[in-house]
Structures are given as C-alpha cells and as structure tokens.
Structure 1
Amino acid sequence: MLHHADFGLNPIALQLGPLSIHWYGLMYMAAFVAFMLLARWRIRQGQAPGWSGEAVDDLLFYGALGVVLGGRLGQVLFYDPVYFFSHPLEIFAVWNGGMSFHGGFLGVLVAMAWYGHKTGRSFWQVTDFIAPLVPPGLFAGRIGNFINGELWGRVCDPDLPWGMVFRGAGDLPRHPSQLYQAGMEGLLLFFILWRFTSKPRPVRAASGLFLLGYGVFRWIGEYFREPDHGIFGQSYAVSMGQWLSLPMILLGVFFLFNAYRKEQS
C-alpha cells in the first residue's frame, strides 16, 4: 500500500516570498507549450495545409481563454454550485485547482467558433486541426490532479500493489485514478488521434474520433474514480462525469458516421 504523502508531493512547486507557483498552473503551461510545439511540427511536416505558426499562436490564445473560463465555469455550475455561490470569491481562485474538463471543452468550442469566424475558417477546419493536439494537455492536467492529491479514486482492494492512501480521503487505499485517466485520456488518446490524422481524413472525422475516444475513456475511468458531487448528486451507478461524457460518445459516433458517409456519396 502506498501513501500519497510519502512521495513528498506539494501542490506548490515554488515559493517566492508571498508568491506561490502551483504545479497545477505549471501543468496548464506545459499543456499550452505542448500544443504549440506539436502544431508547429505538423505544419513543418506538411500535415496541416493552410495553417501557419502565426495562426497557431492566435489559436492558442483563443483556446487558452476557452479552457480557463469554460473549465472554471463548468466546475462551478456542474459540480459545486452551492459551495461557490456561498463563497463567490473562490470562483476566481483557479490556482487551487478545480477545473471541469467538460466545461473547458464547451469553452474551447465557443472559442474555436469565434476564432474560425474571425479568420474565415470553418468550425470543422479548426476542430479537426486541434483534435490530436489536445490529449497531451489532458495528460498534464491529470498529473496536476495527482500532485494536488485531488480527484482520487474509489476504495480498492488492500492487496492492490499500487493502491494509495490520499490525504483527506480516509485511511483506506484507493485507485490512483488520476494516473489511469492520464494514461487513457492523455497518452492513449494522443497515440490514436496522432496516427489517425497522419493521413488525410474526411471533414469532421478527427473531431468525431476525439469525442468518441475521450467519452469512452472518461466513462471507463469513472468506474475507478470517486464520483463527484454534481447537480445530480453523488451517484455510484452513473457518475456526473459519465452523464457529461454520454453526449460526447453519441456525437462522436454520429460525426464519424456522417463524415465517411458523405465521403462515399
């Protein structure tokens, strides 16, 4: 049995007088840097016709706004509305963690639609381009969750070698579900999408595969993660994360089917 505290993980990466630099914030920075580097690599390889480094810089700015604003708003509305409405100043304390992926995802969609409108690109041109670039950021975010010792897993068999006791979660070992999700939503989804988009695909296909892949991996991960208190309460049958992932799965299947049907017609 492992203890999270034994790893010496501190949510604060660096303390400079009154200024605290949190690992969670550094993970977001790593996500944005990975996005930029991978995007520029694809452009140099000729896998992103019509895109330039300057366009990626602008796209990243819009995406960052969507992630932060949407992610925080989603956390407030989907998971902790009672707490945040009782402590409104906490809504702005993003450095303490608490970002909803589904809220951030919706925020990014709005930002991408806005970016596409301003640059004369279609919504699908933008989302197909960013689909394989997002999973490394999801990986970094889950590592940030693990360092923070938050969003821990469900209680597991005491004999599980990697079962972990998290501070604030009682004395029973739990699944390190943050690492499970980092592996599935981050590394595995990145590998699938990177390979898939290395060849020309129909419009909407990459976006559909991202929705389907993330939705399925998140659904699986929720079986190992302690269910969140959400607007539907805390359910061990179908968690809030699974409810929010179900539309992604259905839309992903629809977009993939529609993309290849139009290509064949």
Structure 2
Amino acid sequence: MDFPVYIFGIHPHLIFESLAYFIGFRVYLFTRNKERIPMDQALWVIVGAILGAALGSKFLYWFENPKATMENWINLFYLIEGKTIVGGLLGGLIGVETAKKCIGWTRSTGDDFVLPLAVGMMIGRIGCFLTGLDDHTYGTATTWMTGVDFGDGIKRHPTQVYEIGFLALLAFTLLQIKRKNAGWEGLLFQLFMLSYLMFRFFIDFIKPTPHPYWIFNNIQLASLLGILYYIWLINKKQIEKRREIHA
C-alpha cells in the first residue's frame, strides 16, 4: 500500500475529516435526548463546542514544540497548520460550558455528545492512517505483528488503528451503561473523557513527538490535567449521590 492513499484523486484526510464532521453531527441529531435541551438552545451549545474545539486544538498544538512556536510566532502558516484532538476536546468542553452560561442552561448536555464524538473520531482516524507519514499521528518503530510500513521502510505502531479499536470498545461499554440507566446525568460523558484522556496519556509514550516537558509531551500534560479534573468531578458526584440517599 502506498501512502497517502488517495480516493478518487482526493486526499484521504480531507475525505474522512469531512465525513467525521458530517456523520458525527447527524448521529448527534438522531441520538440526542430531545427532552434534555430544546433544539434552539442545543444549537448554541454546538456552536460553543465548535468554536472551543477549534481554538483548543490550535492552542495545545503550539505547545508541542515550544521552541519552534517561539521562533514562528509571527508565521501565520505555522500557527494555523496543526491541531490536536485532546486540545479540541478540552477546548470544546470550555466552549460548551461557556455557551450554557450565556443561555442560562444548567443541566448537563455532555451525554448527548458521547456517541457522535466516538463515531466522528473513529472516522477521522481512518483518514489519519491512510495519510501515512504526512499526518504525524503514527507510532514509534516496532517489531510487533501490528507494525505498518508507512512508506519509509520502517514498521511502526499504527496508533491510529489502536485508537479506533479503543474508541469502539469504549463506545460499546458506555452504551451498555446507558441501557442500564446507571449513574447520573453527565456520567457517560465524564467516563468518556476520563477514559480517552487516560488512553492518550499512555499511547503518546509510543509516539515520536517531542517530549520537552521532562518525559511528557504537550498532549500528555493536558491529558493529565483533564484526568485529575474528571477524577475529582466523578468523586464529587458520588459523594453528592450518597448524601441524597442518606438524606
């Protein structure tokens, strides 16, 4: 297989990133809880998510190589070329919470985004895999049977495929929890974020990206902060639930 794998002459990243947004949005419209939030207010939440994700994905990317960012801080092409999923997720979270405050909505809306996010991210990672070395999402060299030669004669961890498999398993698990109506409103999204951030924290140890922050890279530091936040949030919710039971 030659990388990038063009489809009808179109770059795979463009095709699958477009499909990820389109299908992810359609999944959201089809699966969202219509009783949780009216559509007119849900659209504002979506706008907040999109803007927050766009800003967050760029902002975190600038910390991948801080020296290069400082050297190119007036280079517009450098500043807009990269993005990160973790930055997009965390930025999207901030955008959603900001939008909810603006419209005065207090209930959790995160559960509605779990399946659309998982589906969209899996589709997007197909494009990352088919792009090959140009996408910079591959792993380090490996002798594992899963190793893939992306065109330079070196077999590497196909971390994009690992992520697709992880997201599929995570989505299935969370759907089982949803069917049992277990937990509280917002639990599914909290578990999704906690699980994905833990996955990214560990998988980035086998990615050949700069690790300028001791043994960590920018993604791992952001993931660690997110992990600590969601552990605190879930623990807080559990304490509140216990108090309600014994009240």
Structure 2 residue aligned with 1:9, among 4, 10, 13? 4
The answer for unaligned runs of 5 or more in structure 2 is: none
Matches within 5 A, 1:10-89: 10=5, 22-43=11-32, 47-76=33-62, 78-87=63-72, 88-89=75-76
Alpha-carbon spacing, 1:7–1:55, altered in 2? closer, same or farther (3 Å): farther
1:26 Cα deviation after fit: 3.5
Match of 1:258 in 2: 236
Structure 2 residue aligned with 1:105, among 89, 92, 96? 89
TM score, norm. by length of structure 1: 0.75
The answer for unaligned runs of 5 or more in structure 1 is: 1-5, 16-20
User: Given residue 175 of structure 1, which amino acid in structure 2 is its aligned partner?
Assistant: H
Preserved contact between residue 219 and residue 245 of structure 1 (Cα < 8 Å): yes
Question: How big is the alpha-carbon RMSD for the aligned residues of Structure 1 and Structure 2?
Answer: 2.8
1:175 Cα deviation after fit: 1.2
SS class of match (1:156): coil
1:85 Cα deviation after fit: 4.2
SS class of match (2:194): helix
Alpha-carbon spacing, 1:261–1:65, altered in 2? closer, same or farther (3 Å): same
Alpha-carbon spacing, 1:85–1:243, altered in 2? closer, same or farther (3 Å): closer
Preserved contact between residue 128 and residue 206 of structure 1 (Cα < 8 Å): yes
1:54 Cα deviation after fit: 4.1
User: Given residue 221 of structure 1, which amino acid in structure 2 is its aligned partner?
Assistant: I
Could you tell me how far apart the structure 2 residues matched to 1:25 and 1:68 are?
16
Could you tell me how far apart the structure 2 residues matched to 1:190 and 1:7 are?
31
1:153 Cα deviation after fit: 1.1
Could you tell me how far apart the structure 1 residues matched to 2:223 and 2:164 are?
16
2:88 is equivalent to residue 114 of structure 1 = no
Percent identity reads 21
1:190 Cα deviation after fit: 2.0
When the two structures are aligned, how many residues end up with a matched partner? 237
Matches within 5 A, 1:107-146: 107-122=91-106, 125-146=108-129
Could you tell me how far apart the structure 2 residues matched to 1:81 and 1:109 are?
24
Alpha-carbon spacing, 1:197–1:31, altered in 2? closer, same or farther (3 Å): farther
1:143 Cα deviation after fit: 2.0
Match of 2:78 in 1: 91
Preserved contact between residue 152 and residue 175 of structure 1 (Cα < 8 Å): yes
Match of 2:203 in 1: 221
* Bigger relative contact order, structure 1 or 2 (CA pairs below 8 A, ≥6 apart): 2
1:139 Cα deviation after fit: 1.5
SS class of match (2:109): helix
Preserved contact between residue 45 and residue 99 of structure 2 (Cα < 8 Å): yes
Alpha-carbon spacing, 1:56–1:24, altered in 2? closer, same or farther (3 Å): farther
Query: CA-to-partner distance for each residue in 1:183-229, whole Å, 9 max, x for gaps?
Result: 21x32222223333342632442332122211222234234x32411
Preserved contact between residue 155 and residue 172 of structure 1 (Cα < 8 Å): yes
Query: CA-to-partner distance for each residue in 1:107-149, whole Å, 9 max, x for gaps?
Result: 2122102210232212x61334323432222212322221221
Structure 2 residue aligned with 1:192, among 157, 169, 173? 173
